[in-house]
């Protein structure tokens, strides 16, 4: 038995779970079972792996309402958004199932000098998935699905706040008839993760979380040696509105991109740049759309904005707003539109700020909450400079009616994914990748599957050749 932990709901501060993390010996036993399962799993065909993953999805769907409710209570996500995330998880996994047979097929090279030559992708071994709480289903499946399809076993160390999801994944894989130990919940603390890495029996670590956490994981993986690593960390994603954009449509889309899941998304829109001449019309439309949000209890169907995950998160977000206002920023949304529904300190009204600049944390440090700064720019050259002036590089969006203009602008943005006239979206057929301090490696697409393998070269001299 390891160190104690407890989980508190942001809805009302009540304690949801209290228990103990696994001890190192208990965790090592799970690792042993994963190794045993993986040795057999690597010899299964890709169609068999696809079939098991699809049965897992079916099993998950049978419990979807119950599972979504557990997540809503644990981290405050509105119930309809939690249900939508489970549906999105299936979409991502199905896309990878479709891609796996082609991606994992042998790559045959032309015969030369009586030599048979081909490249085969083989699994890495046991994968450790360190998953985040904000999108607990899709974040986890981004690692689990490609790992399983590639022939690996997975240990799921979910964030304590959404520890229920690790158990949900293990339960659904058991119901799907997966080999015992193939996917297991691993409720451990940071110290035990370090100890497991030092055994050199973890082949790959997939991490989603903060920049600080990513640096710590990368350092530990490097010190332990041999394991590969994929990191998805912070974001401060920019939206650049060009002067021919439709003001109303853009404001509606960007409001959703900024405040969906209470802004607690790695690719949430966190700063908006608008031409000076459009600023007034855009802000009016954006604030009007903001006031349509319904802050309330996550289990109520009408709720579109729930509490942030914790009191500490609320304090950090409020501190950014207070600091910005002290430096001259103005809150132009009306907090009074959201009075009367607070059940804990985690309920924050969505806030829109003007008169902001890059001297303020609000515009340069990750907010991860329901707050947005809108800043005018004098020229597209300056807009590009402002968008790229960040330590992060996950996504950015360009808003215009002109495809060629968007393409030219997007090509110069220093991010992993660029959108035109959309934002805060993930396409499982495209690699999910960041630059700068937003990440290392990629998930999703055929490249995400390949990242869970190593290439093996075959160079055979054919019988009877000289």
Active site residues: 232, 266
| Helix residue ranges per DSSP H, 120-198 | 136-149, 163-175, 190-198
| Closest to 103 measured CA to CA, from 429, 459, 417 | 429
- Calpha distance 44→49 (Å, rounded): 7
Decide the pairing of beta strands 442-443 and 237-241: unpaired
Q: How many CB atoms lie within 10 A of CB 167?
A: 16
Two structure tokens written together for 77: 């996500």
Collect all residues with Cβ–Cβ distance below 8 Å to 221 and sequence separation of at least 6. Answer: 197, 205, 227, 228, 229
By CB atoms closer than 10 A (0-12, 13-18, 19+), residue 271 is buried
Radius of gyration of the chain (CA): 23
Sign of CA dihedral 416, 420, 426, 428: negative
| Closest to 383 measured CA to CA, from 365, 362, 400 | 400
Do 99 and 37 contact (CB within 8 A), yes or no? no
Two structure tokens written together for 18: 């209290």
At how many degrees (to 10) do helices 46-62 and 163-175 cross? 120
* Range 13-18, long-range pairs (CB < 8 A, 24+ positions): 13/311, 13/344, 13/345, 16/73, 16/74, 17/163, 17/164
- Calpha distance 336→333 (Å, rounded): 9
Two structure tokens written together for 230: 């994929």
Taking 3-state DSSP, the helix, strand and coil percentages for the chain, each rounded to the nearest 5, stand at 45, 25, 35
Looking at residue 245, the DSSP 8-state letter turns out to be S
CA–CA distances in Å: residue 120 to residues 108, 197, 303, 351? 9, 27, 49, 52
């Amino acid at each position: 038995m390891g160190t104690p932990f407890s989980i508190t709901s942001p809805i009302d501060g009540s304690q949801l779970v209290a228990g103990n993390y696994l001890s190192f010996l208990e965790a090592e036993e799970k690792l042993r079972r994963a190794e045993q399962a993986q040795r057999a799993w690597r010899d299964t065909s890709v169609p068999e792996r696809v079939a098991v993953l699809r049965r897992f999805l079916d099993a998950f769907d049978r419990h979807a309402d119950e599972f979504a409710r557990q997540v809503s209570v644990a981290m405050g996500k509105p119930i309809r958004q939690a249900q939508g995330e489970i549906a999105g998880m299936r979409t991502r996994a199905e896309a990878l199932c479709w891609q796996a047979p082609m991606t994992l097929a042998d790559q045959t090279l032309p015969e030369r000098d009586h030599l048979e030559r081909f490249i085969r992708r083989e699994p890495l071994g046991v994968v450790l998935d360190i998953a985040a709480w904000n999108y607990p289903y899709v974040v986890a499946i981004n690692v689990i699905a490609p790992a399983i399809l590639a022939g690996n076993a997975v240990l799921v160390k979910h964030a304590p706040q959404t520890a229920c999801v690790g158990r949900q994944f293990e339960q659904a894989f058991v119901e799907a008839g997966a080999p015992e130990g193939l996917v297991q919940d691993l409720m451990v603390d940071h110290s035990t993760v370090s100890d497991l890495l030092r055994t050199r029996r973890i082949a790959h670590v997939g991490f989603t979380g903060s920049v600080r956490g990513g640096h710590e994981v990368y350092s530990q993986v490097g010190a332990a040696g041999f394991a590969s690593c994929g990191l998805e960390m912070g974001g401060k994603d920019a939206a650049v509105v060009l002067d021919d954009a439709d003001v109303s449509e853009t404001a509606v889309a960007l409001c959703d991109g900024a405040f969906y899941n209470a802004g607690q998304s790695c690719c949430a829109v966190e700063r908006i740049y608008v031409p000076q001449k459009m600023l007034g019309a855009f802000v009016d439309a954006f604030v009007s759309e903001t006031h349509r949000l319904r802050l309330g209890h996550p289990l109520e169907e009408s709720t579109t904005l729930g509490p942030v995950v914790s009191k500490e998160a609320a304090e950090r977000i409020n501190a950014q707003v207070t600091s910005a206002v002290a430096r001259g920023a103005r809150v132009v949304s009306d907090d009074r539109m959201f009075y009367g529904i607070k059940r804990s300190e985690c309920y924050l009204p969505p806030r829109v700020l003007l008169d902001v600049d890059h001297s303020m944390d609000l515009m340069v440090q990750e907010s991860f909450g329901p707050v947005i700064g809108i800043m005018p720019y004098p020229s597209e050259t300056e807009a590009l400079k402002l968008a790229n002036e960040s330590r992060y590089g996950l996504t950015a969006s360009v808003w215009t009616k002109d495809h060629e203009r968007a393409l030219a602008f997007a090509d110069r943005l220093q991010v992993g994914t660029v959108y035109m006239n959309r934002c805060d979206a993930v396409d499982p057929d495209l690699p999910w990748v960041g630059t700068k301090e937003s990440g290392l490696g990629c998930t999703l697409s055929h490249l995400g599957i390949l990242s869970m393998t190593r290439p093996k070269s075959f160079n055979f001299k054919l019988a009877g050749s000289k």
